[in-house]
C-alpha cells in the first residue's frame, strides 16, 4: 500500500502531466493563444485548470510542513498562475505590455526541454520537501 507521501507525489506527477498537456504550443504565440483560449472561458475555469496549486496547498496542510521548500512550491505555483492571469487580462483588454511585445516579435520556439523544466523542478522540490527521512 502506498503511504501518503507516495500518493501525493503521484498526484502531483499526474497533475503536472495534465497541465503539461493542456498548456501546449510550438512557439510563444501558439502557447499564448492556447492559454488565452482557456482564459476566455472564464477566470474560474482557468484557475481550476491548475490543480498542482491545490495539491501543493493541501500537502502543506496535511503534512503540516511549512519548510522553505514546501513554501517555495506553493509560492511559485501561485505566482505563475497570477502572472498568467495578469498577462492574459492585459491581452484581452488590448493593453500594451512591452516585454510581452518583445517575446511575440521574436516568437521563440517552446522546446520540450523548456516545457519540462517546470514539472521536473516542482517534482524535485516536492521530493526534497516531503520525502520521509
pLDDT band at 1; cut points 50, 70, 90: low
| Mean pLDDT rounded to a whole number for the chain | 91
Over residues 40-51, mean pLDDT = 96
More confident of the two residues 46 and 110: 46
Do residues 2 and 10 lie in contact, with contact meaning Cβ atoms separated by under 8 Å? Answer: yes
Q: What digits encode the pLDDT tens for the residues 53-90?
A: 999 999 999 999 999 999 999 999 999 999 999 989 98
pLDDT value for 89 = 93
What DSSP element (H or E) covers 58?
helix 51-63
Buried b (16+ CB within 10 A) or exposed e, 91-128: beeeeeeeeeeeeeeeeeebeeeeeeebbeebbebbee
Amino acid at each position: 500500500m502506498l503511504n501518503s507521501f507516495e500518493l501525493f507525489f503521484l498526484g502531483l506527477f499526474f497533475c503536472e502531466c495534465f497541465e503539461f498537456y493542456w498548456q501546449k504550443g510550438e512557439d510563444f504565440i501558439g502557447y499564448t493563444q492556447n492559454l488565452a483560449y482557456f482564459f476566455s472561458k472564464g477566470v474560474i475555469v482557468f484557475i481550476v485548470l491548475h490543480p498542482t496549486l491545490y495539491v501543493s496547498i493541501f500537502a502543506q496542510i496535511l503534512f503540516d510542513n511549512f519548510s522553505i521548500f514546501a513554501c517555495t512550491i506553493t509560492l511559485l505555483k501561485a505566482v505563475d498562475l497570477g502572472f498568467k492571469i495578469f498577462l492574459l487580462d492585459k491581452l484581452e483588454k488590448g493593453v500594451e505590455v512591452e516585454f510581452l511585445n518583445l517575446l511575440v516579435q521574436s516568437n521563440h520556439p517552446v522546446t520540450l526541454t523548456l516545457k519540462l523544466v517546470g514539472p521536473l523542478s516542482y517534482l524535485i522540490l516536492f521530493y526534497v520537501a516531503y520525502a520521509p527521512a
